[in-house]
């Protein structure tokens, strides 16, 4: 028997013949129709949903990163702080998704793994765009997306644009801190390499926090993001090891060995090195 709302809730809307519903606003019909299993195995549903949820979180991360980069360029650091804080909170959620996927056992995964073919998380274009936004750029990954010309063009554009650290270093220079012209005018398609002038500038910020409070806050927001990204990578690596051991990845990578290597990548090296010097 359906319970009727209490008298105090009589204002709840129940007639949606001419109004937009919650499901329509969120386009739930499209979202919830997207879990098309390629096998009859029960646990493939878990595998699909975890990866779809992660891609939704990545969409939000990109949305906030792109806006924060634009805000820093304009000198609006307070807006950037809000957006970068949201990135970190979102990263905490996407990291916890691995805890759910780790309930998938090796025996269960092998029942449907072959249906994936060569599809792999390695091919996530949003993850590549996050790497680009954080300054890690490798041209060979663009080849993966040549099948879709529109997507390839979008990735190529992101590949050529300044990343979060590039605009943060520009903010150091705008504040009067000396930065090497080679860094300020560098080719943004190349992976960032640490620089003595950038190291000295950040050290000045950390040693004079009252004078450079906004830049100090910016630096800590960047550290938060890299910290969370590395935690995500570590949980990814351990979840893969737990489920498939040291097998080759479906996309052709070396699997766990590849994931261990990327743990050594740094995005904002001076912000980590200065901790030893202070």
Residues contributing to the annotated binding site for heme? 236
Orientation angle between helical segments 125-133 and 44-74, nearest 10 degrees: 30
Q: Which residue, among 167, 160, 202, 166, has the nearest Cα to 77 in the 3D structure? A: 167
Q: Would you mind telling me the total number of residues written for the chain in this entry? A: 278
State which H helix or E strand residue 4 sits in. none
Round to whole Å and give the CA distance between 175 and 177: 6
Q: Which residue, among 273, 265, 142, has the nearest Cα to 206 in the 3D structure? A: 273
Any residues with CB less than 8 A from the CB of 249 and at least 6 apart, and which?
120, 122, 240, 255, 258
Round to whole Å and give the CA distance between 211 and 213: 6
Q: Which residues are annotated as a binding site for substrate?
A: 47-51, 109, 113, 250
Q: Which residues are annotated as a binding site?
A: 47-51, 109, 113, 236, 250
Round to whole Å and give the CA distance between 186 and 179: 12
Phi-psi region of 244 (alpha: psi -120 to 50; beta: other; left: phi over 0): alpha
State which H helix or E strand residue 220 sits in. helix 213-244
């Amino acid at each position: 028997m359906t319970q009727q709302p209490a008298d105090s809730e009589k204002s709840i809307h129940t007639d949606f013949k001419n109004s937009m519903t919650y499901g329509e606003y969120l386009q739930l019909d499209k979202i919830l129709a997207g879990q098309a299993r390629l096998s009859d195995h029960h646990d493939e549903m878990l595998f699909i949903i975890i990866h779809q949820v992660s891609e939704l979180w990545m969409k939000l991360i990109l949305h906030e990163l792109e806006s924060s980069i634009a805000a820093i360029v304009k000198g609006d650091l307070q807006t950037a702080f809000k957006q970068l804080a949201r990135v970190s909170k979102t990263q905490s959620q996407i990291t916890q998704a691995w805890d759910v996927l780790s309930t998938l056992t090796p025996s269960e995964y092998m029942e449907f793994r072959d249906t994936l073919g060569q599809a792999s998380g390695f091919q996530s274009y949003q993850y590549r765009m996050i790497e680009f936004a954080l300054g890690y750029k490798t041209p060979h990954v663009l080849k993966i997306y040549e099948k879709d010309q529109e997507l390839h063009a979008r990735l190529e554009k992101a590949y050529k644009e300044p990343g979060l650290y590039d605009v943060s270093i520009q903010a150091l220079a705008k504040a009067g801190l000396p930065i090497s012209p080679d860094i300020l005018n560098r080719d943004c398609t190349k992976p960032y390499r640490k620089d003595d002038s950038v190291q000295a500038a950040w050290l000045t910020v950390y040693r004079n926090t009252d004078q450079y409070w906004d830049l100090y806050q910016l630096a800590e927001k960047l550290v938060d993001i890299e910290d969370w990204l590395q935690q995500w990578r570590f949980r990814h690596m351990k979840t893969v090891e737990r489920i498939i051991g040291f097998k080759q990845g479906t996309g052709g990578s070396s699997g766990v060995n590849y994931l261990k290597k990327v743990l050594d990548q740094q995005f904002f090296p001076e912000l980590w090195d200065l901790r030893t010097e202070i």
